[in-house]
Amino acid sequence: MTPPAWTRHAIWWQVYPLGFVGAFPAQTPPQPDEHRLRRVADWFDHAVELGASGVALGPVFAARTHGYDTTDHYRIDARLGDDADFDHLIEQAHRRGLRVLLDGVFNHVGLDFPRYRRALHNDTAARWFRRDRGTFHTFEGHPELITLNHDNPDVVDYTVDVMTHWLGRGADGWRLDAAYAVPQPFWATVLPRVRDRHPDAWFVGELIHGDYAATVRDAGFDSATQYELWKAIWSSLNDANFFELDWAMQRHNAFLASFAPLTFIGNHDVTRIASRLEHPEHMAQALVILMTIGGIPSLYAGDEFGYRGVKEERAGGDDAVRPEFGSPPAQLAGRDAEIRALHQYLIGLRRRHPWLYEASTTALRLDNRRYIYRSRHGDQALIVALNVDDAPLHVALADLGTARAEVLAGSGAPPQQVVTELTVEPHGWRILRPV
């Protein structure tokens, strides 16, 4: 399979709509006539100014609580609005050249899913759900999430129909939630049927661990979430252990040989990167890594402003990382403005070097606190230097295999300067292009 050509240039801005518009949690759920989904579209100019090429949405379909307990896959959640609001969002996105990725939960459904309610006294409906010794199976022990029976052809047909319905309404692809929990033959049956009708659609499976490449191949995904690399980025910066990052980079190279992973340093399910990192100045380095390696990068809304939030393993533990947003910011100052400017610059750098989509990385210098790597595809290359030590990093470029390089960006670095030696201040970074 060849992924759609447009994904080679994709940079996602991810939004969790129910939290973004203040619909969940909320003491009084919004009504459809509040049309809150349109508030997401109000931020599309911001996404474009940031440099994103697409908007990755969290759940927008009818649900009781957080959206991952789907009640009706064919209906927009009433707390967000209605079909007209979805059409407005698609139209506003496509007008700006933004793709739209939907979040599909096809591993499980919520307690209010009509067939589950009938399943308690109807055998035909009951066959839609997985059962263990007569008891309906729940997803990872959550009693409100009922696992679908993926061996049932009716579930296959239903999933195909839901996916094609919304692609026909203008969506450009699907993030497949909890894809790791669904039998791979199910996806291998569903996705070809969907692609037959929408060959330009893109499908990314949520994978957390395991053999990513084999799962992508056997399930038929175009991509998968790169949780291994996400963990290695923040962990190596916190622990001053770039060996962990280099190991993950080598794994990442292997994945790139068969697919382009979805890379990220933040999303709706994890502690925000600004809260995760022990040194605030290392947020820039995390972003530099994200924007200079192979794959398809995704930015979680709010990270470009340095938002903070800690995920906790408890009821309501996701709320801090899924806050409500107000109106798009007209002016920013101080640290917030600096963080957004850095995001804009590095995303712009990424877009000016589209070959990074399939670039592999090689360590040029590696120790616990200093890491210099080269990202390369064909004749194109960048050199990235990271320093989390309290002392400066000095190295002759000749020792890195190149005589001269142009400084493209860095902490305290004048751009466009051509150098033969590399100096990086304590807790600093550089991006260079060999010349």
Tens digit of each residue's pLDDT (9 = 90 or more) over 222-249:
999 999 999 999 999 999 999 999 999 9
pLDDT digits (tens, 9 = 90+) for 272-282: 999 999 999 99
3-state secondary structure the chain: CCCCHHHHHCCEEEECHHHHCCCCCCCCCCCHHHCCHHHHHCCHHHHHHHCCCEEEECCCEEECCCCCCEEEEEEECCCCCCHHHHHHHHHHHHHCCCEEEEEECCCEEECCCHHHHHHCCCHHHHCCECEECCEECEHHHCCCEEEECCCCHHHHHHHHHHHHHHHHCCCCEEEECCHHHCCHHHHHHHHHHHHHHCCCCEEEECCCCCCHHHHHHHHCCCEEECHHHHHHHHHHHHHCCHHHHHHHHHHHHHHHCCCCCEEECCCCCCCCHHHHCCCCCHHHHHHHHHHCCCCEEEEECCHHHCCCCCCCCCCCCCHHHCCCCCCCCCCCCHHHHHHHHHHHHHHHHHHHCHHHHHCEEEEEEECCCEEEEEEEECCEEEEEEEECCCCCEEEEHHHHCCCCEEEEEECCCCCCCEECEEEECCCCEEEEEEC
Q: Which CATH class is domain 360-434?
A: mainly beta
pLDDT score for 184: 98
Superfamily of domain 5-358: Glycosidases (3.20.20.80)
Q: Which residues of the chain have pLDDT under 70?
A: 330, 413-415
Phi and psi dihedrals of 361, rounded to 5? -115, 150
Query: How far does Cα 194 stand from its chain's mean position?
Result: 22
pLDDT score for 330: 62
- Is the CB of residue 370 less than 8 Å from the CB of residue 21? no
pTM for this entry:
0.97
pLDDT digits (tens, 9 = 90+) for 341-379: 999 999 999 999 999 999 999 999 999 999 999 999 999
pLDDT score for 134: 83
Q: What are the residue boundaries of the structural domains of the chain, listed by start?
A: 5-358, 360-434
Residue where the block lists tokens 């050249």: 97
